Amino acid sequence: MHDVSPVTNRGSSDVDMSVQERTRITYKARLNQEEVMTMRWAQLWRTIVTSALGKTLFPYTRYIRTLNLEDLEELLQDPKFKNQVSSMFFEGELAAHKIQTSGPKKNQRLDAGRTSNTLGDIITTSTPLLEELSGKIENDALLRWIPRTPHLRLLNLWYGGALVGAGPLLRQHCHAFTTLSFWGWTHDEADHNFADFLNEINSQTLESLEIFSYASIGAESFLALSCHRYSLRELKLNSINSTAMHSLNKLAGCTNLTTLLLTDATNRSVYLKNAHNDIFLEIVAWLTSCKKLRSVTFRNLRGGQDLMTPMLLENDIHLTSLELSGYAMADAHDFHQALANQTSLQELQLQGDSDEVGDGVATLVESLSQLVNLTDLRLQDISDYFTDEVIGGLARSLPKLEGWYTSGWGVTDYIWSDIALLKSLRRLDMAAMSRFSAHGILDFILRLGPGNKGLVLAIMMADVDCDLTEEEQMTIKETIAAQVDGRFEFQLQRGMTVKQIRWRYG
């Protein structure tokens, strides 16, 4: 059952209700509305299950292409799935498939995970066209379901351990399988078992692999990915550990990547350039050989800027999206300078510690000014020392911006005339210490045109001495709504750092 169904994800109770209708409805009536939506949600899933049992007039399940069992589990865990709703759902032929938790009877409750797997077992007996399967699926269940789904193309699992033994079955029954993702896999044999899986499925078929959280994988799995070196286009590895970081050079064969994401949730990995320079150079050689890369994201990788720099300088690599977080401006002169070589960039996100000493800000700004194709620019912390002149200069240099998030220091109404030049701007998040006036903001809004339709203007760190009155805020909200059907958000800056005290009091 696809996520776009109007009665999934707790029923989406705001669907088809206007703002005015929602404000008129009483609390009790809203609770009743939510119960009705939960009932409809449950009825939809019950119809799917009973269809698989041949108890409906129309064989709905035979046409299902996407099955998200996580949505079913959410239904079973929903606080409103009780009494009348639960009784309706499990009546008749479904009564035998209700699984309770173990323990004393008075403490037993519905085991949502096991029940959703049991019901999934029924559904998959009658889904010959199924292409996408998601959920917290147990290993034994997955091994039963794979032979039933010859058109399976995508698997999105909660626990990677469910894949043990699945490789030969996918090779035999699912020739269209290309996409795999799972949340995590913590086990001593995870690396070995995942390598076996990658070797067992049909070679050169895996196109996308994403691991959302921590997994104990490393050298064996990375080497096994070479079996898919020609087909693999997207590789996203979140929360990699130090062992995996040291093994990234084993990915040397995977050079057809278009998307690469690497994150270290702890930011405690070894600084490879200094500690293991030979491995560092091998990883750099791999990255610079990935000529088809279009999107690269490194989050909290120690020395991530050093790994990125040679890649940015590679003339045969033309990135459209880049994100780097967890670095320091003081260590990133070469990286910031190299950014200017990637004029194909359309989306750029940088987050790191800024530095008011030296030429760090000037180097970064000079490179940013040359990225004339940028449509989305997000600068967090690294832009803390951006001034009126810097922000205004960037606005003049980057005419295609549609979304812009920036911090800054001592920003005033001076910037509005330059920001107004951005004829495609749809969102501006000003997380800078600012002193804007209502007049300055209104003057900017009145300069907006058709290309700014729907603009969200968020001022998030206004100086307390430049607070806008409720009347001024209301006038701004009404004006931006009338001018471009936009929205205005305003928040004063709370608490003061040493830097902010120096700015306010000199």
d(CA 73, CA 234): 29
Give the DSSP H or E segment for 272.
helix 272-275
Q: Burial code of 307-332, b = ≥16 C-beta within 10 A, e = fewer?
A: bbbbbbebeebebbbbbbbbbebebb
Q: pLDDT per residue over 304-354, tens digit each? A: 999 999 999 999 999 999 999 999 999 999 999 999 999 999 999 999 999
Residue written as token pair 């996308």:
208
Residue 451's pLDDT band (cuts 50, 70, 90)? very high
Q: Burial code of 86-99, b = ≥16 C-beta within 10 A, e = fewer?
A: beebbeeebeeeeb
Read off the pLDDT of each residue in 494-503 and give the average, rounded to a whole number: 52
pLDDT of residue 21: 55
Residue 2's pLDDT band (cuts 50, 70, 90)? very low
Give me the amino acid identity at 86.
Answer: S
How far, CA to CA in Å, does 327 sit from each of 219, 299, 341, 344? Answer: 26, 9, 20, 23
Beta bridge partners of 259: 234, 295
Instruction: Tell me the average pLDDT of the chain.
Output: 91
Residues 6+ apart with CB under 8 A from 370: 340, 343, 397
Residue 22's pLDDT band (cuts 50, 70, 90)? low
pLDDT of residue 164: 98
Read off the pLDDT of each residue in 357-371 and give the average, rounded to a whole number: 93
Give the DSSP H or E segment for 115.
helix 112-123
Give the DSSP H or E segment for 38.
helix 27-52
d(CA 287, CA 316): 12
How far, CA to CA in Å, does 280 sit from each of 257, 266, 302, 304, 317? Answer: 19, 19, 12, 11, 20
d(CA 379, CA 349): 6
Beta bridge partners of 411: 434
Read off the pLDDT of each residue in 66-90 and give the average, rounded to a whole number: 94
Strands (E), 213-316: 234-237, 259-263, 295-299
Considering only 3-7, 103-107, 108-112, 173-177, which range has the smallest mean pLDDT?
3-7
Residue written as token pair 């692999």:
209
Q: Within a 13 Å sphere around the CA of 128, how many CA atoms are in the beta-carbon half?
A: 2
d(CA 457, CA 434): 14
What are the φ and ψ backbone dihedral angles of 316, each rounded to 5 degrees? -90, 0
pLDDT exceeds 70 at position 202: yes
d(CA 465, CA 492): 9
Which pTM does this prediction carry?
0.90
pLDDT exceeds 90 at position 29: no
Residue 103's pLDDT band (cuts 50, 70, 90)? confident
Q: Between vectors from CA 322 to CA 452 and to CA 277, what angle results, nearest 5°?
A: 165
Read off the pLDDT of each residue in 177-183 and give the average, rounded to a whole number: 98
Of 383, 260, 349, 274, whose CA–CA distance to 311 is shortest? 260
